[in-house]
Amino acid sequence: MKTLTDQSLFEQAIGLHQRGILREAAGLYRQVVRLRPDHVAASANLGVIFCQMGDLESAVPYLLNAAQLDPSHAEVQYNLGKAFQDLGRLDEAAACYRRTLELQAGNRKAKLNLAVVLKNLGEAELAIVLCQQLLKLDAGDHSAWVVLGNAFNEMGQLESAVDCYRQALEYPNCANPHEALNNLGIALTGLGRDADAIDCYRQALEMQPDFFQAQSNLLYALNFFAEQSPRHLLAEARHFGSLVTARADPYRTWNTARAPEKRLRIGLVTGDLRNHSVGYFLEGLIASIAPDAVELFAYVTHYRDDELTERVKPFFAGWVRAIGLGDAALAKRIHDDGIDILIDLSGHTASTRLPMFAWKPAPVQVSWLGYLGTTGLSAMDYLLADPHAVPPGEEQQFAETVWRLPEIYLCFKPPASGPDAGAPPALNHAAVTFGCFNNLAKINDAVVACWCRILTATPNSRLLLKSRQLGDETARRNLLDRFAQRGVDAERLLLASWASSRDDHLGAYQQVDIALDPFPYPGITTTVESLWMGVPVLTLKGDRFIGHQGETILRNVGLPDWIALDQDDYVAKALGFAADLGALSALRARLRGQLLASPVCDAPRFARHFEAALRGMWKQWCGERQLQGAFPAMGTPDS
C-alpha cells in the first residue's frame, strides 16, 4: 500500500508539474522524497522545479541527490550542471557537463553550455574547439556561432568574433538576434568602430526595447563621442532608468534603524574584486576602513577570483556570489542583510547589476568608481566625486545628487613590486617616444588628428600604442591606416598588445617619454600606472565627469601644468615638454615618489574621507541637519 501511495503522489505531482502549477507540484514531490529518499525521479524533478522558480540554491541538493542515486542519468547530470552554471559554480558545472557527454555524446546542449563555461573560466581555446565541433555537424546552429564569437572575443580575436556574430544573424531561425547584435556591438567597440557598435545596440533595442544589457552598452559607447552632449547623455540614461524602474517593485521600508552614529553596514555590488582596474582602486581603501565604524558586505557579480580577491575577502563580514540571483532575489538578500548604504561599482559596464538597484534594497544607494557618468536611476541617491572630477556647475548632468570628497574620489593601491622607471628613452634614441596604453575604443578620429599634429611637428618622434585589441591584425591594420591618412607612416608607430603579466605591462612604460591621454574619455588606471613608472601624462580639460579624470589625478599629484585647455594647447604643451629632455629626466626620477606621497595613493587618509562621506549621507537619511564643513553634498538631481 505504501508503494502505491508513493506512486500516486508522484503521478499527481507530475500532472501538476506539466500544467505549470509549480508550488503544489513541489509540495507533492517533497512528500514522495520524504517517503522514498531513493526516488530518483522525484528528487530530480523537485530540483528542476526549484530551477524553474529561480531558487537555484534549493535545487542543487535535490539534483545532487538524484545524481548520486543514479550516476548514469544524463539528464540529471545536465540539469545539475545548468544549476551550477547559473550559480557561477563553474568548475562544478564543467564536471557535470563532461559527465553528461560521457553518458550521451550527442547532447548538443551540454556541449554548448560546456563551451560557455570554459570561456568564462578563461579556457577560450577549448570553448572554440567545442563550438567548431557543433558547427561541423550543423553549420546553421546560430547559438554555437554566438558562443564561438564570445570565445574569440575573450581571446582578443575581434574580427573573428565579428564574423561569427554576423554568421549567426544570417540565419532566419536565429532565436535571439538581439543578443547576437549586442555581442556584435561589443566586438566592434573593441575594434574602435564605436559608431557601428552604437548602430548594433540600437537595432537590438528596436527588437527588444527592455534589453537592459544593450541599453547599458549603448550608454557606455556614447561616452566615446565628444559630440554627445552631457544633456543628451543624461536623457539617454534617464530613459534606461525609467525602463528598469517600471520592472521593479521597490522597497519602502528597510531592516535598519535611523541611528546616526551606528556602525554602518555597507554593501558593495561589483564584479571587480580581483586583478582589475577597479580592484586596484578598492584594495587600499578596503584594508584601511575602520572596522568599528563600517562593516563591509560584498555582492559579487563575476565568476573568477584571484590573489587580489583572496587578499580582500577577510575584510568582509559577508560575501555573496550574486551571479545566480535574479534582481528580485538579490534585492531581497541585500534587504534581508540590513544593508544601510549600497554602492554600485559597475554602472553601465561589464557585470553590472544596475536594474537591481531600482528595487531600492537599501535606504541609501551610491554610484562610485566603476562608471564615469550618471546611471540614470532615480533610485540612485548619490554619485561620489570630487571638486575636480565634477566642478561646481556640472551637477545638472546627473540623475544623482553629487557628493564631493575634499581631494580626490579614488585611491590607487600601488603595485607591491615592479620594474624601475629607468631613464627617459629619448636619451638613447635622440627622439621622444610618446605613448598611450588606453582602450583602443578611446582613440577616436579627433584624437588621431591631434596626435598626428604632434608627431609631424617633432621629427623622428615615435608613438607607442598598447592595448589588448591590438592583438587583432585587423585592428592593427585599421589603426595604421587612420594615421597614414593624416601623413604619419607606420614606421613612426609602435603597436603592442596586452602583456601576460602586470610587471610586463608596467615595464612597457620604460619605452615611453611622455604619455598622451585620449579624449573625451581619458585614462585612469593607465594614467596612475604611467605616473608610477615615471612617465608624465598630458591630458585635455573636459566638460563632463568622464572628461575630468586626468585633471583630478594630475592636480592631486601636483602636475597642473600637464593639463591642456584645448587641442591647440594640447599640441603646444606636447611639443614644449618634448623639447626639454633635462626637465623630463628630472621629473621621471622623482615622479614615483611624488605620486606615492600624494592623496592619490594615501589609503588611510582617503578612507577617513570616504567614511565621513558615508556618515554624512547616512545622517541625511536619518533626518539630521547636514553638518557644515569639509564634506557637503552639493547639487540636486534634475526634477
How far apart are the two ends of the chain, measured CA to CA in Å? 69
Rounded Cα distance, 229 and 590, in Å: 39
> Range with the lowest mean pLDDT among 378-392, 416-430, 516-530?
416-430
Rounded Cα distance, 38 and 65, in Å: 8
pLDDT band at 631 (very low <50, low <70, confident <90, very high): very low
Please report how many Cα atoms fall inside a 13 Å half-sphere around the Cα of residue 574, on the Cβ side.
Answer: 30
Contact at 8 Å (CB) between 36 and 7? no
Choices 3.40.50.12280, 3.40.1280.10, 3.40.50.11380, 1.20.1260.10: CATH for 264-411+607-634: 3.40.50.11380
Q: How many CB atoms lie within 10 A of CB 633?
A: 16
Rounded Cα distance, 10 and 28, in Å: 7
- Which contiguous run of DSSP H or E holds residue 335? helix 327-336
Copy the grid coordinates of residue 76. 540529471
pLDDT band at 628 (very low <50, low <70, confident <90, very high): very low
pLDDT score of 1: 35
Contact at 8 Å (CB) between 166 and 184? yes
Rounded Cα distance, 555 and 527, in Å: 13
DSSP-derived 3-state class of residue 580: coil
Q: Which fold has domain 426-599?
A: Rossmann fold (3.40.50)
**Which residues touch 172 (CB under 8 Å, ≥6 apart)?**
none
Rounded Cα distance, 153 and 307, in Å: 24
Task: Tell me the per-residue pLDDT of 459-507, one tens digit each, with 9 for 90 and over.
Answer: 999 999 999 999 989 899 999 999 999 999 999 999 999 888 999 999 9
Buried b (16+ CB within 10 A) or exposed e, 344-361: bbbbbbbbbbbbbbbbbb
Task: Tell me the per-residue pLDDT of 81-94, one tens digit each, with 9 for 90 and over.
Answer: 999 999 999 999 99
Strand order through the sheet with 563-564: 493-496, 462-466, 433-436, 514-516, 537-540, 563-564
Q: Which fold has domain 176-222?
A: 1.25.40
Rounded Cα distance, 287 and 297, in Å: 14
DSSP-derived 3-state class of residue 516: strand
Rounded Cα distance, 238 and 117, in Å: 34
Would you state the torsion angle of the CA atoms of residues 571, 574, 580, 585, taken in this order, to the nearest 10 degrees? 180
Note if the bond before 314 is cis, omega within 30 degrees: no
Contact at 8 Å (CB) between 108 and 140? no
Rounded Cα distance, 254 and 266, in Å: 14
Of 269, 449, 226, the C-alpha closest to 359 is 269
Angle at 381 between CA 321 and CA 547, to 5 degrees: 90
List the domain boundaries for the chain.
176-222, 264-411+607-634, 426-599
pLDDT score of 624: 60
Same fold, 176-222 and 426-599: no
User: Distance of alpha carbon 405 from its chain centroid, rounded?
Assistant: 23
Say whether pLDDT at 2 is over 70. Answer: no
Of 213, 198, 204, 221, the C-alpha closest to 243 is 213
Say whether pLDDT at 164 is over 90. Answer: yes
pLDDT score of 235: 98
DSSP state letters, 582-603: HHHHHHHHHHHHHHHTSGGG-H
The verdict on pTM exceeding 0.85 is yes
3 state SS for 129-186: HHHHHHHHHCCCCHHHHHHHHHHHHHCCCHHHHHHHHHHHHHCCCCCCHHHHHHHHHH
Of residues 209 and 304, the one with the higher pLDDT is 209
Say whether pLDDT at 200 is over 80. Answer: yes
Rounded Cα distance, 443 and 104, in Å: 49
Average pLDDT for 335-356: 97
